[in-house]
Structure 1
Amino acid sequence: MSNANPSVESHYEALEAQWNSVDGSLEFERLVVPTGNSDSPFHRWFHLKEAFSVDLLPTILKQLSFEGMSELRILDCFAGGGTTLVSALEMSSQAHVTATGIERNPFLHHVSSSKVRALQAGPSLAQELKKAYVEVQHLYASDARFTINTPALSTFSNEAYFPPSLLNSLLRIKAAIEFCDASALARDLLLTSAASCVESSSRLRRDGRALRYASERQPKDPWLEFSNRIQQMIEDTSGSQAAASSASVILGDGRRPLLHVDESEKRDLIVFSPPYPNNIDYTEIYKTEAWYLGFYEDSEQFRSQRLRTLRSHPSVRFSEEYDYESSSDAEAVRELLAPILGAVPDDRYATGRRQLIRGYADDMLTLFRHCRKVISNKGRLVYVVGNSAHGSGDALFVIAADLMMARLAELANWRVEEISVARSLRRRVTNSRFLRESVVTLSPA
C-alpha cells in the first residue's frame, strides 16, 4: 500500500472541511454500481458496466422530498445507457415526468434513445418486434445475398479476436436487419440487440480502461445471442403500457446543455454521473459496437469523436485551451488545481496527466455554469463521481473529483449541500481515504 502525496491530502482535507461530508454507504453503496440492472426490464437490454443502479433515481428523489411532486422535470447531461431516463419513465404512475438526456457517444445514444422510445411506444411494439424478428430470421437463414461489409476497424479483421465464421454471422444479422421491412423503432431495437452481441461473440472483453484480448474466452454464437436478446425485448415490451411521461435523448455535448435545451424550461432536478478523471476512454472501449453499427467509417471520424468528448482521460492529446484562464474565476481555479498539478511526477505521463487535471476542471466549470441557468429556484443538482489514483509508489496521488467539482460548482454559483461518500475504492492501492465514490448534492446559491 502506497502513501498518498501528503500535500494533496492536506489540500483535500481543507476543502472537505468547508462542507457537510457524511458516510452515505448505507444508502448509496449498492446504487453507484449497476445493481439490479441486468434483471430489470428495458435496463437489461445492454450491459453498461459503468452505469449506476436502476434504484438510484428513486432513492435521490426520496431523499430530496421530490417523490410527492405531481410534475417533475429532469435533465441528465451524461445519459450513457439511459438508466436515469428509463427510471424516470417508470415513475409515470406517481408523477408526470419530463426527462431529457444528452449523450456524446453515438452508440450509447443509440442504446439510450432506443430504450426510452420503446417505453413510450406501448405493448403494440412487441408485435412489431416479433414480426420483424421472424423476417430477419428468414433472411438470415435464406440464400438471400446481402451486401456485407466488414467495418474498416482492424480489430474486426483479427481472426484471433473474431473467428471468421462468427464475424460473418454478426455481419449477416446486421445486413438482414437493414434489409427487412420494419418500423424505424423496431429496426433500432433489432440493431441494439445485434450490437449487444459483439463483445460476447469475440475474444475481447472490456476490462477497466480498455478492450483486452482474452485468449481463453470461448466466443458465443451470434445468432443465439441475438435471439435471446430479442426475446427479452419482446417480453419487456409486451408487458409494458405506454409511459404517460415523456423522455428524449439528444446526441450532443453534455458539458454545454444550453446548446441543446431551452433556458426558459427550468429543471427541478439535474442528475448525472460524468466520466471520471481516470484512464477510461469510452469512445475506445465501446468502439467495436459503434463501428459495427456504422457510426464511424474511417479512423479520422473515430479520432474526431474522441476529441469531442469530455477531457476525462489522457488517451488523446486534447486542446490546451482552457476557458477558465480568461474568466473572472481564473485565480480561484488555479488555487484549486495547484497542489494537484504539483503532485504529478515528472515522468513520461506528466504532460497527459496535467492536461487531464486542467481539462477536466475546465469542462466541469463550464458544465456547472450551464446547469445553473436551467435549474429552477428550488431545484437540485446531484452528481455521482469516483475519485482516482494515479502514479505508483511514493509518486502516487489521488484526483479527488468529488471535492474538485464541489469547489468548481461554488464558483458557478451553486451551494454544496452534502457530500455523501458511497464507498471506498481499492484501498489496497493507497492509504488515502479520498479514493472513493461519492454522491454530491447542490442547490442554487
Structure 2
Amino acid sequence: MLAENREFNDWVNGWTTPAPSTYQRSDSLAFQRWFKFKEAFSPSLVKDVIESLPQRPVRILDCFGGSGTTAVVAAMLGIDSTLIEVNPFLADLIEAKLGSYEDFDIPTEALAVLAASEQVLVPVEKLRGRLPPTFLEPGKKERWIFGKEAAVAIEQLRTAILDVQALALQRLFRVALGSVLIDASNVRIDGKARRYKTNWKTRRIEATAIRQLFVDMVARMVEDIARFPSKNGDNEILRGDSREVLKSLPAKTIDLAIFSPPYPNSFDYTDIYNVELWMLGYFDVAADNTKLRLQTLRSHVQVKWESPISLLGSKTLDSTLELLRAKASQLWDKRLPEMVFAYFCDLDEIVRGIVKTLNSDGHIAIIVGNSAYAGITVDSSEILKEIAHHHGLIVKKCESVRVMRTSSQQTAGTKELDEWLILLAFAVH
C-alpha cells in the first residue's frame, strides 16, 4: 500500500533504522530533524502497522503525540489524523511540522526577528527571577545551565518571536529556538537526567553563536518545507491530558489508534523537556511544572499522586504487585508498587477512551516496554492484553520489536527488557 506512495518514499529514501520502535537515525529525515528526541517510534513502524491492516484507515489517532511521527506519516499518505499531546512545547512542534507556509517568506521574516531581537532590552534580574535558580549564571552551588550572555540572547529572540503577527510563523520560530537550546547550554540530556558537558565552565556561548544556531535551524526548516510543501489530509492537534481529552472525542470516528505511552520506568518526561518549557516561557512559576506533571501518565514518582482505586482484573498485574511489595525494602523508592498500579490504571482509562472512538472494524496498536525493579519484571504487554480483554478486545498480534538495556535503577539481575507491539481489535470483528 505505502510502497506506491511517491511522497512517502521520497521522504524516507536512503533512510534506515536499527529498530522500528526507536527514533535512532530518524533525526536525519525532513521534519524529524527539527528536534532531537530521546525515544519515539519510527516512520517505518507506522507504515508497517498500516500495511498490516485489512483496509486503509481513513483517520488515525495517536493519544501521545510526542514527536509527531504519526501525524507526519499520515500527512504524507493523505490520511486524516488526530493527535493528543499534553506537553505544550511538543504540541507546538507537531503543529509546526504540519503547518502550511506557502503565504510566508520565512527567511525574510526570520531576519526581521533577528534584527528586532538585537533591540530588545532584557533586565537580567527579572529574567533570573522567572527561571529556576540553576538556569542562569551564577546558578546554584556553582552550577548553571546557561551563561549570562547566552541566556540574554535567547530571551531577546523569544521576546522578538512573540511580536510575530502570524501565529503559524510565531510557532515555527519558537520551535526553532527550542530546538537549539540544549546545544546552546552547558548540559546534555542523558536518560532522565541532565548532565553537565565536559569543560562546561570554560565553554562560553556568545550571543552571535545563539543567533547562528537559530538561523541554521530555520534554514533546515525552510529546506524541509520547500521539499514537502503540501500536507494532505485533515490533521487535528488536541492539547491536554489524554485521559480527559479522549472523553470529548466523537464516537466511532477512528479506524486506527496507534500510540506509545511513557513506559513504567520512573522517567519523568516533563523533566526531560524542562529546559525548553522554562526558557520558551511555557512555565512562569514552579506551579506550572507541577500542573503539567499531574496531567501526565503516572509513570514516575516525582510528584505525589492520588492513590489508585481501580480494580483492573489483571492477574499478571496482581502477582507483580505482590512480588514488588514483598521486596519493598530492596526498592529504591517505596512508592514504586503504587506507581506501577497507578500507571496501568491510567492505561486502562486510555484504552476505555479509545474503544469509544473506534469504528467497529478499527484497530489499536500499542508500543510499550517492560520494566524491572529489584529483579522483578513488570510485563507490560501481558498486563495490557489482560486489560484489553476486559474492554471487549482481542489480540491480533503481539511481537517483540526491540530488546532494551535496563537502567541502573532497574537492573538488579534483569539486564534486558523487551519492547512490544500489540495489535488489538474488537472480539466480534
Q: Which interval holds the TM-score relative to the shorter structure?
A: 0.7 to 0.9
C-alpha separation in 2, matches of 1:176 and 1:122: 20
SS at structure 1 position matched to 2:405:
coil
Alignment of 1:48-87 (within 5 A): 48-66=37-55, 69=56, 72-87=58-73
C-alpha separation in 1, matches of 2:41 and 2:306: 30
C-alpha separation in 2, matches of 1:286 and 1:110: 13
The one-letter code of the counterpart of 1:425 is: M
C-alpha separation in 2, matches of 1:145 and 1:219: 21
Q: Which runs of no fewer than 5 residues in structure 2 stay unpaired?
A: 1-15, 139-143
Q: Which residue pairs with 1:338 in the alignment?
A: 318
C-alpha separation in 2, matches of 1:43 and 1:204: 22
Contact preservation (8 Å) 2:240, 2:295: no
Contact preservation (8 Å) 1:38, 1:44: yes
Q: Which residue pairs with 1:33 in the alignment?
A: 22
Aligned counterpart for 2:388 among listed residues 399, 409, 426 = 409
C-alpha separation in 2, matches of 1:60 and 1:28: 16
The Cα RMSD (Å) is 2.3
The one-letter code of the counterpart of 2:183 is: S
Q: Which residue pairs with 1:252 in the alignment?
A: 240
Aligned counterpart for 1:317 among listed residues 292, 300, 304 = 304
Instruction: Note the C-alpha offset of 1:122.
Output: 5.0
C-alpha separation in 1, matches of 2:20 and 2:280: 31
Contact preservation (8 Å) 1:387, 1:435: yes
C-alpha separation in 1, matches of 2:328 and 2:338: 13
Identify which range, 166-175 or 271-280, moves more after superposition: 166-175
C-alpha separation in 1, matches of 2:332 and 2:238: 35
C-alpha separation in 2, matches of 1:433 and 1:379: 36
Q: Which residue pairs with 2:286 in the alignment?
A: 299
SS at structure 2 position matched to 1:101:
strand
Contact preservation (8 Å) 1:88, 1:99: yes
Contact preservation (8 Å) 1:385, 1:439: yes
Q: 1:190 to 1:340 in 2, by over 3 A?
A: same
User: Are residues 1:355 and 2:338 paired?
Assistant: yes
SS at structure 1 position matched to 2:231:
coil
Q: Which residue pairs with 2:401 in the alignment?
A: 422
User: Are residues 1:110 and 2:110 paired?
Assistant: no
Q: Which residue pairs with 1:390 in the alignment?
A: 373
Contact preservation (8 Å) 1:257, 1:367: no
Q: Which runs of no fewer than 5 residues in structure 1 stay unpaired?
A: 1-26
Q: Which residue pairs with 2:221 in the alignment?
A: 233
* Count of matched residue pairs: 393
Q: 1:29 to 1:421 in 2, by over 3 A?
A: farther
The one-letter code of the counterpart of 1:39 is: S
- Superposed CA deviations along residues 353-389 of structure 1, whole A, max 9, x for unmatched, are 0121110111111111111111111111001111122
C-alpha separation in 1, matches of 2:60 and 2:120: 46
Instruction: Note the C-alpha offset of 1:36.
Output: 3.9
- Superposed CA deviations along residues 297-331 of structure 1, whole A, max 9, x for unmatched, are 11122112211210011222211032x24xxxx5x
Q: Which residue pairs with 1:277 in the alignment?
A: 264
- Superposed CA deviations along residues 131-172 of structure 1, whole A, max 9, x for unmatched, are 21010121234x454677523222322443211111111111
Instruction: Note the C-alpha offset of 1:349.
Output: 3.9
The one-letter code of the counterpart of 1:233 is: M
Contact preservation (8 Å) 1:28, 1:422: no
Contact preservation (8 Å) 2:136, 2:147: no
SS at structure 2 position matched to 1:425:
strand
Instruction: Note the C-alpha offset of 1:342.
Output: 2.1
Identity, % of aligned pairs?
25
Q: Which residue pairs with 1:98 in the alignment?
A: 80
Q: 1:415 to 1:80 in 2, by over 3 A?
A: same
Alignment of 1:145-164 (within 5 A): 145=121, 149-150=126-127, 151-159=130-138, 160-164=144-148
Q: Which residue pairs with 1:11 in the alignment?
A: none
Contact preservation (8 Å) 1:400, 1:435: no
Q: 1:291 to 1:405 in 2, by over 3 A?
A: same
- Answer 1 or 2: higher relative contact order, Cα 8 Å, separation at least 6: 1
